[in-house]
Structure 1
Amino acid sequence: MINYPSSKLPDIGTTIFTVMSALANEQQAINLSQGFPDFNCPEELVELVAKYMREGYNQYAPMPGVLHLREKISEKTEKLYGYRPNPETEVTVTSGATEALFAAITAIVKPGDEVVVLEPCYDSYAPAIRLSGGVPIYVSLALPDFHVDWEQVKKRISSRTRLIIMNTPHNPTGAVMTQQDMQTLATLTNGSDIFVISDEVYEHMVFDERQHTSVLQHPALRERSIAISSFGKTYHTTGWKIGYAIAPPALTNELRKIHQYLTFASPTPLQLAIADFMENEEHYLRLPDFYQQKRDLFMELVQPSRFELIPSAGTYFQLLKYDAISDEYDVDFAKRLTREIGVAAIPVSAFYHDKADHKYLRFCFAKGEDTLRKAAERLVQL
């Protein structure tokens, strides 16, 4: 008999995103669960990819990413956040933001290190921490608007704290951090050896005249932070898995050591096409209005229902509270909703380490108008 190795993640199963998408397919339900658009990316971007493939750019890209793309990322960062990272030593192209997160966490966290994680949180954070021998220290965002309770964060920081992971705009809640939040974080980490990973993949989806606040805008944070973003979110190309990380040279050097053994490099024609398409600044500058219109439409359509909602401040997700409809555990309610109503959503307990249930479901509104109308019509029937 073979003695197979014991699991490094014995309590981790198939992600809730896979489970709910599979159930949606099985039931032929409208899938507002997994966070991807049901509309295509710009045709010009597709043509650019085809152009570079035809021209023979089909071999390995440089490990840190195509230099032209890193230069365009640097230029864009300066325009948006007033800081121009060195494309040679501070910008790394990755195979999606999730790879960037894993590489960043692995580069920083050593056995016994503690990592402050604000939850509900994206489900890749804690497994990456644990695989590096670190200890996640969870701090819950404060209800009902899911803001950061900085007093609670301070209480959980110890001599073993190595890293704080931030996420703004926030998945799954849609909350957006403020300049005051960033200043508090800068003050909290000042004079310490605590690093920051800032997950900013929804940076272009901030609503109601709010502005995205990046760690890159704050010199005191910038010197200790890795900022991560995603072209998949910005250009409606989640399947391409192209993201990037911006960090000081010393952190970039360590991140690249991990990155080179994860994917080495991301697809060359995709990188070249994105670099060219970045000349079209209007695309990402229009995204806040583009997605706010979808959020507003979804809210308007769902308003007659028995769900309670607070308008999402950012991302392309909207939480709906269902405690006036049912007292079921949110996973059970989400599955019943998929089977009986034909609309799939993500139960927010999946984003808590202890599966805390506050009776919220997360709905993705990165969908066409017809999809949103059909889904809302069903939700209103509850």
Structure 2
Amino acid sequence: MATRDDASATSVWEEITAMASEDGVVDLGQGWPDFGASIAAREGAARAMLGDGVRANQYAPVRGDARMVAALIRYYAATGFDVGRCERGTVAREECVVVTASATEAIYGAFQAATRGGGDGTSRREIVFVEPFFPWYKAIADDVGAVSVVVRARAEDGFRVDVDAVRAACSRDRTALLVMCSPHNPTGHVMTQDELLGIAALAEDLDLTVLSDEVYERSVFGGRAFTRLATVGDMSARTVTIGSASKLLNLTGWRVGWAVGPKRLVDPIKSAHSLMSYTAPNPLQIGVAEALEEISRSADGAVSSDENAAVMFENANALERALSDVGLSCFSPPGGYFLVCDVGKTGFSDMEFCRELAARAKVCAVPMSVFFLPSPTGDVPRHLVRFAICKVPSTVLEACARIREHAPYVAP
């Protein structure tokens, strides 16, 4: 049953979706890319669907199509992470991988497994994550009967991860799973080496399992480095890494994701996957495999930003200039799909600003308050707005022109 707060958040999303669908509105609200969908993946999937192979359009194994699993192992190795480190060579690398019907399904399986307990009488029910957060974290936690515990990343600190606050929120007895997301949705923060080392240290001290949501891993800007949490210290033995074709290849409609990690953490995700969707679409897995193989051939041992990231970086810069021109300040994102803006000086709340922006300038954005847990003390920020930058440059430039033109109304 939805709570009053859940119903309120749902109504906000419904209103934003309705505004975005109105005629003539430039939609910078919804975070789906309208450019850059992998050609290699699409051509590979088309060949699989139209070719003579009998199995290509039938069920794949629950763990994933053999070519897809092998491509994932190669991709991670080519970008600096030997999946075999998760088990130190005691099991086959293939058993450290599962392909799911979206990263969301992989996250669901991980949350469910973490809160079931191991039959030893423990009752760890808390899932800890950073807010603002991807809304599905709370929704899934609610659905599996877990308790959401959040640690706030503050705008005035550039949305950095407060490792000390994370440590204070975690407990050896209560914490079932610690969730980290880098590059972060919705702020774009990319975890620094100090943050990664701090999270690794507290996970070891408290014997925690960590889910590392890395779906935006190739969307890092300005030459910044991206480091996988599983490659820090001994974290490979306690980390589930989540990836997705939705963001890696700009194919959000394909619903192909994956989880990589120790067999003991991946197997429960595989079991949940077998009961929910059974297997991800086979020809689409084959297409994704081709794209991963293409990336691997040119990789140099580390995750590198792709050409889509370069477009989004320019979009972020253009949009930030436009918002600055009308007197608003932004938080320059190191990565991800979004730009966060502070609209406090307008006198509008985040939702009021989004309504005015859609009505006056015909530009749609999202109030950031929907990415926070409801607070009984009323301290949820109401002055931040999120813009999607994962759009063709002409769309973003049109939004910029409209923001400048209608500045007296949207930024009085």
TM-score by structure 1 length?
Answer: 0.92
For 1:88 and 1:160, the matched residues in 2 are separated by 32
Give the corresponding residue for 1:352: 372
In the alignment, residue 72 of structure 1 is paired with which amino acid? A
Given candidates 83, 96, 99, the residue that maps to 1:93 is 99
Give the corresponding residue for 1:340: 360
Given candidates 45, 60, 81, the residue that maps to 1:49 is 45
Unaligned runs of at least 5 residues, structure 2? 85-91, 117-122, 408-412
Name the % identity.
28
Given candidates 141, 150, 171, the residue that maps to 2:185 is 171
Q: Deviations over 1:5-51 (max 9, x none)?
A: xx266753437555422221135311101111122524443222221
Give the corresponding residue for 1:308: 329
Checking the alignment, whether the CA contact within 8 Å between 2:208 and 2:238 is kept in structure 1 is yes
Give the corresponding residue for 2:398: 374
In the alignment, residue 286 of structure 2 is paired with which amino acid? L
Give the corresponding residue for 1:106: 112
Give the corresponding residue for 1:4: none
Q: Indicate the larger mover: 257-266 or 327-336.
A: 327-336
Give the corresponding residue for 1:295: 316
In the alignment, residue 368 of structure 1 is paired with which amino acid? V
Q: Deviations over 1:102-123 (max 9, x none)?
A: 1111111136511212100000
Q: Deviations over 1:196-247 (max 9, x none)?
A: 1111110001112211121221242221111101111121111111111111
Q: Indicate the larger mover: 51-60 or 282-291.
A: 282-291
Aligned length: 375
For 2:57 and 2:193, the matched residues in 1 are separated by 43
Give the corresponding residue for 1:69: 68
- Displacement of 1:310: 2.2
Given candidates 94, 115, 132, the residue that maps to 1:120 is 132
- Displacement of 1:302: 3.7
Give the corresponding residue for 1:271: 285
Matches within 5 A, 1:119-198: 119-144=131-156, 145-158=158-171, 159-198=173-212
Unaligned runs of at least 5 residues, structure 1? 1-6
Give the corresponding residue for 1:78: 77
Distance 1:274 1:18, change over 3 A: farther
Q: Indicate the larger mover: 124-133 or 197-206.
A: 124-133
Does residue 12 of structure 1 match 2:45?
no
Checking the alignment, whether the CA contact within 8 Å between 2:126 and 2:146 is kept in structure 1 is yes
Distance 1:18 1:60, change over 3 A: farther
For 1:229 and 1:115, the matched residues in 2 are separated by 20
Does residue 322 of structure 1 match 2:343?
yes
- Displacement of 1:296: 2.5
Does residue 245 of structure 1 match 2:259?
yes
For 1:27 and 1:365, the matched residues in 2 are separated by 20
Aligned-residue CA RMSD (Å): 2.1
For 1:88 and 1:257, the matched residues in 2 are separated by 15
For 2:99 and 2:60, the matched residues in 1 are separated by 10
Q: Deviations over 1:54-97 (max 9, x none)?
A: 12521111111112111111111112123234542111111111
Checking the alignment, whether the CA contact within 8 Å between 1:92 and 1:244 is kept in structure 2 is yes
